[in-house]
Structure 1
Amino acid sequence: MIAHKKKFTTGLVLIAMFIVILVAIFMPLFNGHNGLEYLDNLYNSISKGSAYYIDSVRTEVQSLEQSDLTVNLTMASEVQAQQTVSLFMKAGAQVGQEGNQLTVTGNMAKILGYCLDDAQLMYDNDGAAVSAKYGYAEKAALYNWWSALKSMDFSLKKQKQFKAAKIADMVKAKAVETAYNYYGIEAQNISDRFGVVLFSLIFYVVYTLWYGFGIMDLFEGWGLRLEH
């Protein structure tokens, strides 16, 4: 039995409109993407510009001493180790391989600087240049850099080369990870899309309240009330 027909009708209309818009959000109406995918891509592209640290990390790398160091690296597999050999050789290092173990001798500043060059290419979405260097997929190359730097950090700390270890980890976290995660995304300035960003935030708040008031009116019209 409907206790308050006007409230019930209002709630029903609000919920019906809410569902219609929800269905539209999940339809590919935005250049082949649904609304959530469109906004996800938008916020990723905006955040990419604020996640650029390669230049500042390069300054830290250039502060390293120029003497050669030897590090022992453990890779996940023999295949990954073989792929990683070419990374260090291109960087001017001497590399020995035994199974999934690598012994790398070279100038850390030069090696890390070369790694940053690859990260810059990937950040600029020029993966073809990275793939052409090593003869395999660009994302695999960058992941191999990440794995090698993770192992390098451990090896350098064992040698009490703490400054070099800290900078190697910085290259991994602030350059390689960022370039890998944002690869393929075109950076945008928030000021260029401020209208869309503002609309999406306001819409989120309004749409949430819309659902809440719809449910409230629907149940109050039905005769159900919340009481203490």
Structure 2
Amino acid sequence: MSKQAKSQKFHMTTGLIMVLVFVGVLIAFFSPIFNGHNGLDYLDSLYNSISKNSAYYIPELNKQAAKYDGTKLEATLTLPDADTAAQAALLFAGAGAQAAAEGDKLKINGDLGKVFASTLTDTESMYHNQGDKLAARYQGKDARLMLYTWWRSYAALEKALNRQKNFAQAKFVAVVQAKAVEMTYNYYGIEPQSIGERWLIVAISLLFYVVYTLWYGFGVMYMFEGAGYQLEH
């Protein structure tokens, strides 16, 4: 056997072994060996919990909202339907405002600072996965439904304040909607974790991703070289 033939055989064997190892690890990774979950689910949960911890803006929003204490709020909101308007009336009433729903319209009269404070109290409960506390404040209504109603109400409130040319207030409504209401709705049920607590598994997962990708690439390259192809760049 010529030297070139031996080299090709070596590369083909090496490449085949590397690809088979890649496939074996892939199968194991997607098997439920991590407390009943596969590796993708485990890492997805890990990174979601870390990102939730880094998205905790509620204390800072409470400080910013305090400057609106005593600010009169009087507006008519247009909501998607009558049910949403009725649910929104409960939310604003819980914030000490007068709230009257008629069809898909909701008339509110109250203190903007108190509305922000009530919203942020609800989102604080949801951030800590304490939906039962939020439900108890609103006649046992589903916590996620009420939080979604806050989101709908804030979208309508932002439009109403812009029509009144209260642009600074409208802008802060949008901030609370995105950084508190939307954030806690999306992350509900996930336990927040600091990256400092899980830095080792994060580092290992990133290193694994790099090595695993390179492993597959070299395996395929060796197989092509074993088949007689010369790969260049």
* Same topology, TM > 0.5: yes
Tell me what 1:43 maps to: 47
Q: What percentage of residue pairs aligned between the two structures are identical?
A: 46
- What is the RMSD of the two structures over their aligned residues, measured on CA atoms? 1.6
- Counterpart pick for 2:75 among 71, 74, 87: 71
Deviation at 1:155, TM superposition (A): 0.3
Contact 1:89 1:95 in 2 (8 A): yes
Which fold has the larger relative contact order, with Cα–Cα distance below 8 Å and residues 6 or more apart in sequence?
1
Which sits farther off after the overlay, 35-44 or 78-87? 78-87
Contact 1:27 1:33 in 2 (8 A): yes
Contact 2:69 2:114 in 1 (8 A): no
- Counterpart pick for 1:197 among 199, 202, 210: 202
- Counterpart pick for 1:8 among 3, 6, 12: 12
Deviation at 1:132, TM superposition (A): 2.0
Contact 1:77 1:100 in 2 (8 A): yes
Deviation at 1:83, TM superposition (A): 1.4
Describe the superposition over 1:66-108 as per-residue Cα deviations: whole angstroms up to 9, x where unpaired.
1422111111121111111111111111112121111111100
Q: Name the CA distance, whole Å, in 2 between partners of 1:191 and 1:163.
A: 36
Deviation at 1:2, TM superposition (A): 9.6
State the SS of the aligned residue for 1:192.
Answer: coil
Q: Name the CA distance, whole Å, in 2 between partners of 1:37 and 1:79.
A: 36
Tell me what 1:213 maps to: 218
Q: Name the CA distance, whole Å, in 2 between partners of 1:72 and 1:31.
A: 51
Tell me what 1:103 maps to: 107
Q: TM-score, normalised by structure 2?
A: 0.93
Structure 1 segments unaligned to the other structure (5+ residues): none
Contact 1:2 1:221 in 2 (8 A): no
Contact 2:68 2:113 in 1 (8 A): yes
Contact 2:78 2:104 in 1 (8 A): yes
1:69-218 → structure 2 map (5 Å cutoff): 69-134=73-138, 135-218=140-223
Q: Name the CA distance, whole Å, in 2 between partners of 1:26 and 1:226.
A: 31
Q: Name the CA distance, whole Å, in 1 between partners of 2:106 and 2:25.
A: 56
Tell me what 2:230 maps to: 225
State the SS of the aligned residue for 1:4.
Answer: helix
State the SS of the aligned residue for 2:198.
Answer: helix
Q: How many residues align?
A: 228
Q: Name the CA distance, whole Å, in 1 between partners of 2:194 and 2:179.
A: 20
Report the residue type matching 1:149 in the other structure.
Y
Deviation at 1:3, TM superposition (A): 7.6
Describe the superposition over 1:146-181 as per-residue Cα deviations: whole angstroms up to 9, x where unpaired.
110111011011111122212211111111111111
Deviation at 1:28, TM superposition (A): 0.9
- Counterpart pick for 1:27 among 20, 27, 31: 31
